[in-house]
C-alpha cells in the first residue's frame, strides 16, 4: 500500500461520512431496505413496530461480531462480512426450526471507515436478508474508537408444538448433520498459515448459507427431536445437545461428510484432520431423530437436495461421549467440570 496516499484517502473518507452524518447514513440504509407490509414502522422511530403471527411463539437471537476477535478486515471483504453477520444469526433461527422475520442491526463504525466499505457491508447484509425474506427494521449506528463493532438481532416465529430445542434428544436417536463439514475451518486454517484457500472453500467461510428451509422442514414435519447449528464445531455443538438432553452419544468421525476439497487436503495433510473437524463455523444443522424416521429423512434430503448424513447415535448419559477416530479406535470422554462441560473442544472466549 502506498503510504503517501493512504492518510489523504482516509481523510476524504472520514470527511464524507462526517458530511453524510449519522442521520444521513441511516436514511441511506432505509432507502435500500425492501418494503414489507408486516413492518408497520421500520427505521426512524424509537422502536420498530411489526406484526406477529397469531398463535406462534417469538424466537430471538443476538450475536456480537467484533473486529480482531471474530474477524480481521484484512481477511474478509466488507460484502462478505455483512453477509456473514446476518448469516450467523439467521442460522440460529434455522436451528430452532423457525421462520426468520425481522432483523435489527447495531454498528459501531470507526471514523476512518470509507463510505464504499459501509455500502459494501450493507449490500452483503441486505442481500442475505432479501434472499431469506427477512427485513431490516431498525438498530443503532454510532462512532467507534475501537474497530468495527457489529451487533445483530434476528427475530423469528414458530408454532410452539414444532419447536426444535437442544433438550429433546433421547437414547436411540440417530445423529445427523447437513451438507459437508470442515470447509470453513480449512479455509480459516489456511488463512492463519498464510496459504490461499480454494475459492469455493473460502466462500463457505466467508458467506455461509443458513439452513432455514431445511430447519423449517424438519420442524414442520416433526422429524427432529433436538437441533443445533454447527458454529462451535461438531464436538462442542453435540456437547451442547448432550448436556441439555442429559444424554451421551457415539460419534463416528469417519462418517462426517467432507467435501472433495477437504478430503483431498486431509489426504495430503492428515495432521490437520482434528483441527478441520473441530473448527466450526460450518453453519450446517446437527439434529437428532428417532431411528424410525430414517426413511422420511432420506426423502426430505432428496426433496431439498441437501445431504443429510447419519454420524452417530444418542446413548444414555453414563456412556459419555464416545468418539470413533479415523483408525476405528473409540475414545470415551466423560463430562468434567460443569462450567465447561457444554463446550468440549470448542472455542471458549475467555480462555487464555
Binding residues among 120-159 for its own copies as defined by CB under 8 A:
137-147, 149, 151, 153, 155-156
The reply to whether 300 sits near its own copies by the rule CB under 8 A is no
Least Å distance between CB 176 and its own copies? Answer: 16
From the list 53-61, 169-177, 185-193, 299-307, the region that binds its own copies by CB under 8 A is 53-61
The reply to whether 298 sits near its own copies by the rule CB under 8 A is no
Complete edge-to-edge strand list for the sheet that includes strand 247-252: 226-229, 285-289, 174-178, 308-316, 247-252, 321-324, 330-333
The reply to whether 70 sits near its own copies by the rule CB under 8 A is yes
The reply to whether 238 sits near its own copies by the rule CB under 8 A is no
The reply to whether 163 sits near its own copies by the rule CB under 8 A is yes
The reply to whether 350 sits near its own copies by the rule CB under 8 A is yes
The reply to whether 211 sits near its own copies by the rule CB under 8 A is no
- Choice from 10, 36, 63, 294 touching its own copies (CB under 8 A): 63
The reply to whether 222 sits near its own copies by the rule CB under 8 A is no
Per-residue 3-state assignment (H helix, E strand, C coil) for 154-208: EEEEEEHHHCCCHHHCCCCCEEEEECCCCHHHHHHHHHHCCCCCCHHHHHHHHCC
Give one word for 317, left, alpha or beta, with left for phi > 0 and alpha for psi -120 to 50. Answer: alpha
The reply to whether 246 sits near its own copies by the rule CB under 8 A is no
Q: For the residues of 122-139, what is the DSSP string, one character each?
A: HHHHHHHHHHTT-EEEEE
Question: Which residues are CB-contacts of 238 (< 8 A; sequence separation ≥ 6)?
Answer: 175, 228, 249, 251, 286, 312, 321
**By C-alpha distance, which of 296, 321, 107 is closest to 234?**
321
- Choice from 76, 228, 242, 276 touching its own copies (CB under 8 A): 228
Least Å distance between CB 263 and its own copies? Answer: 29
Of 155 and 253, which has the nearer Cβ to its own copies? 155
Kindly state the cell numbers that stand for 324.
470413533
Give one word for 56, left, alpha or beta, with left for phi > 0 and alpha for psi -120 to 50. Answer: beta
**By C-alpha distance, which of 174, 177, 169 is closest to 312?**
174
From the list 75-83, 163-171, 193-201, 251-259, the region that binds its own copies by CB under 8 A is 163-171
Q: Which of residues 71-110 bind its own copies (CB under 8 A)?
A: 91-93, 95-96, 98, 102, 104-109
Of 107 and 187, which has the nearer Cβ to its own copies? 107
The reply to whether 216 sits near its own copies by the rule CB under 8 A is no
- Choice from 9, 52, 213, 330 touching its own copies (CB under 8 A): 52
- Choice from 6, 9, 30, 40 touching its own copies (CB under 8 A): 40
Amino acid at each position: 500500500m502506498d503510504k503517501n496516499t493512504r492518510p489523504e484517502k482516509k481523510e476524504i473518507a472520514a470527511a464524507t461520512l462526517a458530511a453524510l452524518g449519522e442521520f444521513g447514513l441511516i436514511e441511506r440504509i432505509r432507502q435500500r431496505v425492501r418494503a414489507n407490509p408486516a413492518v408497520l414502522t421500520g427505521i426512524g422511530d424509537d422502536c420498530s413496530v411489526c406484526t406477529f403471527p397469531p398463535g406462534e411463539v417469538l424466537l430471538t437471537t443476538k450475536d456480537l461480531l467484533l473486529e480482531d476477535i471474530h474477524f480481521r478486515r484484512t481477511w474478509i471483504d466488507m460484502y462478505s462480512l455483512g453477509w456473514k453477520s446476518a448469516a450467523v444469526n439467521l442460522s440460529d433461527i434455522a436451528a430452532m426450526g423457525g421462520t426468520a422475520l425481522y432483523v435489527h442491526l447495531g454498528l459501531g463504525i470507526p471514523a476512518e471507515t470509507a463510505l464504499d466499505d459501509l455500502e459494501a457491508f450493507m449490500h452483503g447484509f441486505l442481500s442475505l436478508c432479501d434472499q431469506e425474506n427477512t427485513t431490516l427494521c431498525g438498530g443503532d449506528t454510532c462512532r467507534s474508537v475501537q474497530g468495527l463493532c457489529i451487533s445483530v438481532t434476528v427475530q423469528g416465529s414458530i408454532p410452539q408444538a414444532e419447536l426444535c430445542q437442544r433438550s429433546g434428544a433421547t437414547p436411540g436417536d440417530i445423529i445427523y448433520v447437513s451438507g459437508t463439514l470442515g470447509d470453513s475451518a480449512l479455509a480459516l486454517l489456511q488463512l492463519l498459515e498464510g496459504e490461499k484457500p480454494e475459492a469455493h472453500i473460502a466462500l463457505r467461510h466467508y458467506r455461509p448459507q443458513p439452513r432455514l428451509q431445511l430447519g423449517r422442514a424438519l420442524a414442520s414435519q416433526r422429524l427432529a427431536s433436538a437441533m443445533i447449528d454447527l458454529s462451535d464445531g461438531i464436538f462442542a455443538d453435540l456437547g451442547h445437545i448432550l448436556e441439555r438432553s442429559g444424554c451421551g452419544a457415539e460419534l463416528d468421525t469417519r462418517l462426517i461428510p467432507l467435501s472433495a476439497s477437504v478430503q483431498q487436503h486431509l489426504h495430503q495433510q492428515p495432521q490437520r484432520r482434528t483441527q478441520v473437524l473441530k473448527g466450526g463455523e460450518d453453519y450446517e444443522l446437527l439434529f437428532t431423530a428417532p431411528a424410525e424416521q430414517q426413511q422420511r429423512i432420506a426423502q426430505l434430503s432428496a426433496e431439498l437436495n441437501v445431504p443429510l448424513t447419519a454420524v452417530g447415535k444418542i446413548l444414555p448419559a453414563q456412556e459419555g461421549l464416545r468418539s470413533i477416530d479415523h483408525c476405528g479406535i473409540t475414545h470415551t470422554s466423560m463430562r468434567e467440570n460443569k462450567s465447561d462441560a457444554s463446550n468440549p473442544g470448542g472455542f471458549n472466549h475467555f480462555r487464555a
